[in-house]
């Protein structure tokens, strides 16, 4: 009946299953985590998601319409994971499917909760109609659709140069306001 080594091969798995109640507890204890490790309350869910990406392109679409894109030499997240930090920024803000503003700066940060993009260091903003704005610091508030700064600004446009301190542009209405001691040179 059971002659030959080939017929005996199936006996080993059958014996392991039949004797499992004897060895199962010992194997479970051996494979259990050490008592000083609390697996249920591990800190993995509480750690911030920190990352660094080189040569990144970030885009934001709402209802299938592109609102902005940001290209950066390096993007990293803050320790809280709620802020993106940029090194070398080139950004485009879109309205009605066309680039409204092209923005360049040395550094930037995007605060996700406030939906606010802050730019710093030789910020240059070029409107699609040709006007340019230069400043050292600028904020784009996505929720309000506004561009603003309290830093000194220089604006160059069709036959004029304007300087002042503080700037606000409402992208919904198209209105601009420049504060401080405004100086305009017409050419």
CB 119 within 8 A of CB 85: no
Rg over CA atoms, the chain: 31
Q: Please give the pLDDT value at position 4.
A: 64
The dihedral built from the CA positions of residue 36, 37, 38 and 44, taken in this order, carries a sign that is positive
Tens of pLDDT along 91-129?
A: 998 887 888 889 999 999 888 888 888 999 899 999 888
Q: Please give the pLDDT value at position 37.
A: 46
Residue ranges, comma separated, of all CATH 2.60.450.10 domains in the chain are 49-186
The dihedral built from the CA positions of residue 24, 27, 29 and 34, taken in this order, carries a sign that is negative
- List of residues 6+ apart from 24 with CB closer than 8 A: none
Q: Please give the pLDDT value at position 6.
A: 65
User: Is 3.10.20.30 the CATH classification of the domain at 49-186?
Assistant: no
The beta-strand segments (E) located in 78-182 are 83-95, 98-111, 116-127, 132-141, 146-157, 160-170, 176-178
- Tens place of pLDDT for every residue, the chain, 187 residues? 556 666 667 777 777 778 877 777 777 777 765 555 444 444 444 555 678 888 989 888 888 888 888 999 999 887 777 888 899 999 998 887 888 889 999 999 888 888 888 999 899 999 888 889 999 999 988 888 888 999 999 999 888 899 999 899 888 888 889 888 888 888 8
Number of other CB atoms surrounding residue 79 within 10 Å: 9
The beta-strand segments (E) located in 52-97 are 52-62, 65-77, 83-95
Q: Which helix (H) or strand (E) holds 23?
A: helix 20-31
């Amino acid at each position: 009946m059971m002659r030959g080594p080939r017929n005996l091969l199936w006996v080993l798995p059958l014996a392991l299953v039949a004797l499992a109640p004897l060895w199962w507890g010992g194997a479970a204890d051996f494979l259990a985590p050490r008592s000083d490790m609390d697996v249920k309350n591990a800190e993995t869910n509480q750690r911030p998601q920190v990352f660094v990406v080189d040569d990144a392109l970030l885009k934001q679409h709402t209802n299938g319409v592109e609102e902005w894109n940001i290209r950066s030499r390096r993007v990293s997240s803050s320790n809280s994971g709620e802020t993106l930090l940029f090194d070398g920024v080139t950004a485009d803000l879109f309205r009605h499917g066309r680039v409204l503003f092209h923005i360049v700066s040395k550094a930037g940060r995007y605060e996700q909760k406030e939906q606010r993009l802050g730019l710093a260091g030789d910020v240059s903003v070029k409107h699609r109609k040709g006007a340019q704005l230069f400043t050292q610091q600028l904020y784009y508030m996505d929720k309000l659709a506004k561009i603003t700064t309290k830093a000194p600004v220089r604006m160059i446009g069709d036959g004029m140069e304007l300087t002042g301190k503080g700037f606000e542009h409402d992208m919904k209405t198209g209105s601009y306001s420049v504060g401080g001691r405004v100086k305009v040179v017409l050419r």
